[in-house]
Structure 1
Amino acid sequence: MSRIQIFTDSTCDLSEELKQAFQIEVVPLYVVFESESYQDGTTIQPKRLFELVTQTGKLPKTAAPSPADFEQAFAPYVEAGDDVVYIGLSTELSSTVQNAKVAASQFADGRVTVIDSRNLSTGIGLLVLKAAQAVQEGKSVDQIAELVEAHAAKIEVEFIIDTLEYLHKGGRCSSVQAFLGSLLKIRPVVKVINGAMMLTDKVRGKRDKALAQLLNNALAYADNMDEDFLFVTHAVASDEAAYLKKEIEQRAKVKRVVITEAGCVISSHCGPQTVGIVFAKK
């Protein structure tokens, strides 16, 4: 029987420890500042990203891996006799999955299976871990694909963004909205709905109030959380992430509450001090 190799892309925001523990391979997206192109998580890290934004006053552009990038990543495994399952960033947000499908078509039918996560950040990561666990359990490619697709709609992803600045620079809100948001200390709430990133609420006031809402929104599902993993994902908000982790561990029955840092692609859209809670429903 062929071995199965799980692939994802850099927007999964999984830690190196988890990727190594579950033998997950990652194809990086690109972050482009003017003429300089970087590979997310490989040749640029979030700290450097924020430094460049401060220096230039501009956000980078982000780009999907090319079909050739995917083909180059998949080929050694297929040539070694392995089957590949790739789980990627929502097609509502990027052409990443479409490019992976183009690459998959270059191999014999069935050797590379491409799945749209309908998610971002550690919402993808949760599905990737489910797939990797299924590989360890001896599941087939078809069984893994069915499992991932069934769980995709059960993923809850919610972030609190600390400032409207990055949304404004990225063209997602007007200069007037950004000014008023700063003046009134408005912090947007972002959720993933039907594969897209949606602004669902705006919390006005102190950051503590926004964190409390984020926590309470998650804990409303405490009795219906998948117990394997819950992620607290952040961009330069380690203290708040540690606080949320502690509260969740005390108030929800989850085996592993894991803090992980958002990569450059997610950070470039949301900005520093973003923090989110990501989990799967039963």
Structure 2
Amino acid sequence: MPKVKIFADSTCDLPQEWIRDYGIGIIPLYVTFGDTTYRDGVDISVAELYAKVDKTGSLPKTAAPSPADFVQAFSPDIEAGRDIVYISLSSELSSTYQNALIAAEEFPEGKVTVVDSLNLSTGIGLQVMKAVKAAEAGKSAREIAELVTSVRPLVETEFVIDSLDYLYKGGRCSGMQNLVGSLLKIRPVIKVIDGKMTPAYKVRGKREKALEQMLNNALVNRDQMDPDLIFVTHSMADEDAQELKRILKEKTGASEVAVSDAGCVISSHCGAKTIGILYVKKP
């Protein structure tokens, strides 16, 4: 068993079997509808989340784990003599990172190392998998944190949002933008830049056109891609994800192109049929 345990939160969107097989600790964020709060991926599924949005007509609120949640999650491994590296959701998007830092102060110095991913979804997951492999190779917590920090600016994260509805309901675009966007079939493409969700460009027309543009954007960098792992991450768009996986595998020769499902927190901000391509560039 590695001497360093790798933790992430539920927004890393890694496949459940990977989380189990690699022994990754996951700390869930919270999703709240009215007076009821659910743990992301534990008490509520993405299908259930969308059903509740359709029924209520409003989006849930999302919240970070508390410092106490982190202390509770970290304590068993610390007591077992292991060090911890926790890779968080971007500090630009959530207080998750700050709350983990507060929790780390409850343990002896150096036992818990907190790294800001400056990313979301499998943009975090790519960094987590680098950390997992380093831990398996016997690297120290400090060495793993340095590795993740060096990989962090090389992560490319791009998503096609199928509808402006969730951005509108979440207050991220105006009613007029939503109306015009719906009439013109405009699909925004989001990139993560400096830890923030940034509108990169918009594609007008059929969904296939937007997916083709995103795929082409990735393939332009095929020679610069780290060949170890590419993610196609989606919310209720498995057919499109599998087709993107097939093409990426054929065109890049990557060792692994993995499809993963976006969790409730990511889905509640982006909506159904959101789909992204995420990879690491070579140094």
Question: Quick check: TM above 0.5?
Answer: yes
Aligned amino acid, residue 55 of structure 2: Q
How many Å apart are 1:140 and its aligned residue?
A: 1.0
Q: Quick check: 2:230–2:254 contact (8 Å CA) kept in 1? A: yes
Aligned amino acid, residue 187 of structure 2: R
Q: Quick check: 1:22–1:133 contact (8 Å CA) kept in 2? A: no
Aligned amino acid, residue 22 of structure 1: Y
2:239 and 2:132 map into 1 onto residues whose CA distance is: 30
Q: Which residue of 2 aligns with 1:112?
A: 112
Cα distance, 1:20–1:2 mapped onto 2, change above 3 Å:
closer
Q: Which residue of 2 aligns with 1:242?
A: 242
1:147 and 1:8 map into 2 onto residues whose CA distance is: 16
How many Å apart are 1:17 and its aligned residue?
A: 1.0
2:40 and 2:147 map into 1 onto residues whose CA distance is: 28
Counterparts of 1:1-282 in structure 2, within 5 Å, are 3-282=3-282
* Superposed CA offset, 1:35-69 (max 9, x none): 01000010011000000000000000000000000
Q: Quick check: 1:2–1:83 contact (8 Å CA) kept in 2? A: no
1:222 and 1:94 map into 2 onto residues whose CA distance is: 31
Unaligned regions of 5+ residues in structure 2, if any? none
2:209 and 2:152 map into 1 onto residues whose CA distance is: 30
2:242 and 2:83 map into 1 onto residues whose CA distance is: 38
Aligned amino acid, residue 214 of structure 2: L
Aligned amino acid, residue 33 of structure 2: F
How many Å apart are 1:142 and its aligned residue?
A: 1.1
Q: TM-score, normalization: structure 2?
A: 0.98
How many Å apart are 1:23 and its aligned residue?
A: 1.3
1:50 and 1:280 map into 2 onto residues whose CA distance is: 31
| Matched residue SS, 2:253 | coil
Dislocated runs of 4+, deviation >6 Å: none
Q: Quick check: 1:123–1:157 contact (8 Å CA) kept in 2? A: yes
Cα distance, 1:220–1:145 mapped onto 2, change above 3 Å:
same
How many Å apart are 1:109 and its aligned residue?
A: 0.4
1:253 and 1:2 map into 2 onto residues whose CA distance is: 30
Aligned amino acid, residue 6 of structure 1: I
Q: Quick check: 1:2–1:81 contact (8 Å CA) kept in 2? A: no
| Matched residue SS, 1:139 | coil
How many Å apart are 1:2 and its aligned residue?
A: 8.0
How many Å apart are 1:21 and its aligned residue?
A: 2.1
Unaligned regions of 5+ residues in structure 1, if any? none
| Matched residue SS, 2:266 | helix
1:61 and 1:269 map into 2 onto residues whose CA distance is: 10
Q: Quick check: 1:184–1:204 contact (8 Å CA) kept in 2? A: yes
Q: Quick check: 2:5–2:85 contact (8 Å CA) kept in 1? A: yes
Aligned amino acid, residue 12 of structure 2: C
| Matched residue SS, 1:153 | helix
| Matched residue SS, 2:139 | coil
How many Å apart are 1:253 and its aligned residue?
A: 2.1
Q: Quick check: 1:119–1:195 contact (8 Å CA) kept in 2? A: yes
Q: Quick check: 2:2–2:135 contact (8 Å CA) kept in 1? A: no
